[in-house]
Amino acid sequence: MKELAREPLDLVITGVGGQGNVLASQVLGRALLDQGYQVTVGETYGLSQRGGAVMSQVRVTRRGVLGPLIAENQATAIISLEPMEALRVLPTYGHPEVVVLTNDRPLQPLGVIAGQAEYPQPPKLRAAIEELCGRLYWLPATEEAMKLGAPILANVIMLGALAASGLLPIGAPEIEAALAEMFPDEKMAANRQALAVGQELVA
Amino acid sequence: MADISGLTPGRTVLMQGNEAIARGALEAGVSFAAAYPGNPSSEILQTLADSAEGAGIYAEWSTNEKVALEAAAAASYCGLRAMASMKQNGVNVAQDFICNLTISGSGPGGLVLVTCDDPGAISSTNEEDARFIAKLADLPLLEPSTPAEALAMMKFAFDLSEDIENLVVVRAISRLSHTRSGVVPGELAVGRPRPAWDPKRVITTIPAVPRHQVMKDKLAEAGGLMAAGPFNSYGGPDNPELLIIASGSSVLYAAEAIDILGVGRRVGLLKLGCTWPLDEKLLRKHLAATERVLFAEEVDPFIEDHVKSLYAQHAPELGIKRFYGKASGHTPAIGELSPGRLAAAVSEVLELGHQAVDPGYLERAVQSAGAMAAPREVGFCPGCPHRASYWAMKQVLAVDGRAGLVSGDIGCYTMGVLSTGFNRVNSVHCMGSGLGISSGLGKLGRFGFDQPVISVVGDSTFFHAALPGIVNARWNQADYLLVVLDNSATAMTGFQPHPGTGQLASGQAGAQVDIEQVCRSLGLDCRVADPYDLAATSDALYDALQQKGLRVLILRRVCALVQGRSGGHPYRMEIDPELCRGDACGCHRFCSRVFKCPGLVFDQALGQAVIDEVTCVGCGVCAQICPAGAIKALAKDQEAAA
């Protein structure tokens, strides 16, 4: 078992209901557990499935059992499937050294659709996140997923990017093995492609 | 969910809290499990149902939580281990039975009630601490902190129930139910008695007062067995400067707070897994060893209040103590706890001046997120039939012009109080409450009340709690229109089947109960419309609204998510750029401003409405609302053919 970049290694996975963030956290949790780490995956869902912000937390340690919530302002990294959601969690989980990996594709909140609120200009949003983190990966995950024919694959692309970022004590093959435990064979070709695309985005 | 009956004993797996509860029940030899869905509890029964064949048990979705517990009690009376699982609101529904069951006692088979509470109301319309049922009904209460402990506690709970012949309550919370961590499954129980009930045996609460004493004696016996069990423990110095008494997930938050602050040599942690009755001897021992006590529990001060009352009895020998918690304001009286909130509380008590992060950073982050991260309101999914139903109701009530009201209750359609339901719903409380409220409103005419009333109810809620309200309204001739929003699923909690779908928890076919037939059998006028057809639905609504007495309109269209999984919707939506004149139209962006489907957005740069192809499912409803006719629904099959 490799040393962790940080003890505990605390990952926030955030996004909007329906983007597959709970699934991404489960895949990651399985992959890490299979390698012998103690893992706690906290999922927040319920009403939040319906277009609201959804967050999961993956906590990894080589010591004892951890609770379901990451301590405030102590996350190692934030993986966000939507850029505004990355900014939203920074006051609660961020700190000057936190690493942020975010999909760059905005999903407009209802208030923005209705013209009651504004979605920030992407460069402005990017600059705000950059100012609040130690390292930012701004990734076209949805765009790449659409090239693969399914926007939902953005979550697996983000996992590929995370694997290539060097933050995890495991790599893409371990994540692929965990995906294979959860998906039927016919879905695995697309998942493998998505993982590879994600790795290339960060490489 | 998955079949967990075949897991390899001894091999660690990542298991959700609810799955661990289900696995614990299987290892304890549960034979009969019943529940009504409600987050965060729903996965328990679904996991048991998916494992039923493998484990040889029976699992059912019941019509409501009271029926579920009653059915489980029957199995207990016949010697089988049985359980019912529910969310906090379900405990309220089952309460009348619970408060009688505790006097009659359970049977020779262990009987366990699992309640999954929801601090922070993550998936609930109320925030409630259901632990009080244990105090109210004198029942033993166990609170696991981790999925692994939940598994162990379920086994303990069945044994305890058989030892005292009474119901045992296991209380999880969202953060346990929906947390996954490593769990080592044990062996499944083998063999079970053949169920039987000696016809000479009468199980009743009568005579209630002497039996009330029996109930008290059972609780005292349970207290002794729980104190001897493995679920209460202490870690820390012999004479801590501060003692934290914690239960549930708060035990882990407290341990982490101690770790963050580096005060392991100064602060002790008393973990309570058995929280009713409290182990008074253990508590007196730890109170004697410290002068300051902080409570960490969710949601209400359940342990805090009882420990203070215990202290009051023993103050002369224990000396002066200071208590910190909800009453003192050191922990929040509402909402969830967290490692940071507890670290702040400990820091305040010990005057450590701890800061989780540089205050300058925090200020910048709060300001930045506040300025740029627009709120993300929850709402109906793209293609949701409820959006169309509420759209029609909004239009019809406006045309009707008599200040009509809509009362609602619990389900996805609760979001009718929010903007994607056009804030059209005027009241929401609990399952079925809209019908009772409409029954009352529908009798106010004699006092001069002249507003028309619509009551909306979902198809699953119809069977759970609406029937008595409907019969009441029919009998007393209350004047209102009942609209059944039938999306053929218990959608909010994860698409569980219900009597209207006819499918069973196992996936096999049961007997279907037809809502229309039920209504007609009560002598009610009952019509059906498809909410996707806005014109027909509006006509039907308007006509029904003009009638008197109780009448029923069923708006039937399958949940958009269910449809998405079974072949999808028929259309590809498109905006005709020639017809959409954007801000020059005079509609003031009617489609995105008012209709508010996430699949239909206004492109600022283009100055026109556009379909978000990632989000739109192709239900075709928005094509009916554009005043310029610019939104086109193109049939996918015709496009494919062409």
Tens of pLDDT, residue by residue over B545-584, are 999 999 999 999 999 999 998 999 999 999 999 999 999 9
The 10 Å Cβ neighbour count of residue B303 is 24
Specify the pLDDT at position A47: 57
Specify the pLDDT at position B494: 83
Specify the pLDDT at position B495: 86
Structure tokens at B608: 């026109």
- C-beta atoms of A110 and B376 within 8 A: yes
| Residue B20, CA distances (Å) to B74, B144, B160, B461 in order | 25, 11, 19, 28
Nearest to A46 among B40, B181, B593 (CB): B40
For residue A202, name the pLDDT band (cuts at 50, 70, 90).
very high
Q: pLDDT tens across A155-169, in order? A: 999 999 999 999 999
Nearest to A48 among B356, B375, B378 (CB): B378
For residue B640, name the pLDDT band (cuts at 50, 70, 90).
confident
Nearest to A51 among B365, B368, B379 (CB): B379
The 10 Å Cβ neighbour count of residue B37 is 27
C-beta separation of B68 from B115 below 8 A: no
Number of domains in chain A: 1
- C-beta atoms of A84 and B374 within 8 A: yes
Residue in B451, B515, B522 with CA at minimum distance from that of residue B484? B515
- Whether chain B has a CB inside 8 Å of the CB on A200: the answer is no
AA identity, residue A93: Y
Residue B613, pLDDT above cutoff 90: no
* String of DSSP letters for B389-443: HHHHHHHHHHHH-S--EEEE-SSGGGGGGSGGGTT---EE-STTHHHHHHHHHTT
Q: pLDDT tens across A40-77, in order? A: 999 887 654 567 888 999 999 998 889 999 999 999 99
What ipTM did this prediction achieve? 0.95
CA B585 to CA B480: how far, in whole Å? 39
Residue A119, pLDDT above cutoff 60: yes
**Superfamily of domain covering B13-194+201-227:** Thiamin diphosphate (ThDP)-binding fold, Pyr/PP domains (3.40.50.970)
- C-beta atoms of A45 and B123 within 8 A: yes
Q: Which residues of B touch A45 (CB under 8 A)?
A: 39, 122-123, 178
Q: Which residues of A touch B372 (CB under 8 A)?
A: 84, 87, 120, 124-125, 128
Could you confirm whether domain B385-565 is CATH 3.30.70.270? no
Instruction: Please name the residue of chain B whose CA is at the shortest distance from the CA of residue A42.
Output: B179
AA identity, residue B608: Q
The 10 Å Cβ neighbour count of residue B518 is 20
Q: Which residues of B touch A30 (CB under 8 A)?
A: 14
Residue A1, pLDDT above cutoff 90: no
Nearest to B372 among A26, A45, A125 (CB): A125
- E-strand ranges in B124-232 read 141-142, 168-173, 179-183
Determine phi and psi for B484, rounding to 5 degrees: -90, 115
Q: Which residues of A touch B255 (CB under 8 A)?
A: 67
- Whether chain B has a CB inside 8 Å of the CB on A119: the answer is yes
Say if A1 falls within a structural domain.
no
Q: Which residues of A touch B37 (CB under 8 A)?
A: none
Q: pLDDT tens across B584-597, in order? A: 999 999 999 999 99
Q: Across residues B464-486, what is the average pLDDT? A: 96
Q: pLDDT tens across B126-138, in order? A: 999 999 999 999 9
- Whether chain B has a CB inside 8 Å of the CB on A121: the answer is no
- Whether chain B has a CB inside 8 Å of the CB on A23: the answer is no
CA B240 to CA B245: how far, in whole Å? 12
Say if A2 falls within a structural domain.
no
* String of DSSP letters for chain A: -PPPSSSSEEEEEEEETTS-HHHHHHHHHHHHHHTT-EEEEEE--SGGGTTSEEEEEEEEESSSPPPSSPPTT--SEEEESSHHHHHHHHHHH--TT-EEEEE------HHHHTTSS-PPPHHHHHHHHHHTSSEEEEE-HHHHHHHTT-GGGHHHHHHHHHHHTT-SSS-HHHHHHHHHHHS-HHHHHHHHHHHHHHHHHH-
Whether B571-641 and B13-194+201-227 are alike in CATH topology: the answer is no
Q: Average pLDDT over chain B, rounded to whole?
A: 96
AA identity, residue B8: T
Specify the pLDDT at position B4: 96
- Whether chain B has a CB inside 8 Å of the CB on A150: the answer is no
- Whether chain B has a CB inside 8 Å of the CB on A67: the answer is yes
Say if A131 falls within a structural domain.
yes
Output the domain CATH number for residue A100. 3.40.920.10
Domain boundaries, chain B: 13-194+201-227, 233-350, 385-565, 571-641
| Residues linked to residue B496 through DSSP beta bridges, in sequence order | B490
- Percent of chain B clearing pLDDT 90 (strictly above): 94
DSSP character for B51? Answer: H
Architecture of domain B571-641: 2-Layer Sandwich (3.30)
- C-beta atoms of B374 and A68 within 8 A: no
- Which uninterrupted H or E stretch holds B164? helix B147-164
Q: Which residues of A touch B249 (CB under 8 A)?
A: 67-69
Give A165 to chain B, closest Cα distance, Å: 24
Structure tokens at B73: 């009690």
Specify the pLDDT at position B489: 84
| Residue A188, CA distances (Å) to A154, A168, A177, B571 in order | 15, 22, 10, 29
Is B642 buried (19+), middle (13-18) or exposed (0-12) by CB count in 10 A?
Answer: exposed
Nearest to B596 among A46, A48, A113 (CB): A113
Nearest to B181 among A65, A109, A119 (CB): A65
Q: Which of B151, B181, B347 should one mutate to test binding to chain A, selecting the residue with the greatest count of A CBs within 10 A?
A: B181
Please count the CA atoms within 13 angstroms of the CA of A187 that sit on its side-chain side. 11
- Percent of chain A clearing pLDDT 70 (strictly above): 97
Q: pLDDT tens across B81-120, in order? A: 999 999 999 999 999 999 999 999 999 999 999 999 999 9
Is B370 buried (19+), middle (13-18) or exposed (0-12) by CB count in 10 A?
Answer: exposed
Specify the pLDDT at position B98: 98
Domain housing A123: 9-202
For residue B420, give every residue at least 6 positions away whose Cβ sits within 8 Å of its Cβ, in sequence order, or none: A110, B377, B379, B380, B384, B387, B390, B596, B597
What is the CATH class of B233-350?
A: alpha beta
- Whether chain B has a CB inside 8 Å of the CB on A91: the answer is yes
Nearest to B592 among A41, A43, A114 (CB): A114
| Unique residue bearing structure tokens 């597959």 | A20
C-beta separation of B172 from B230 below 8 A: no
| Residue B433, CA distances (Å) to B415, B429, B457, B496 in order | 15, 6, 9, 21
CA B397 to CA B481: how far, in whole Å? 12
CA B116 to CA B259: how far, in whole Å? 28
Q: Which residues of A touch B338 (CB under 8 A)?
A: 69, 71-72
Q: Which of A14, A35, A70, A72 should one mutate to test binding to chain B, selecting the residue with the greatest count of B CBs within 10 A?
A: A72
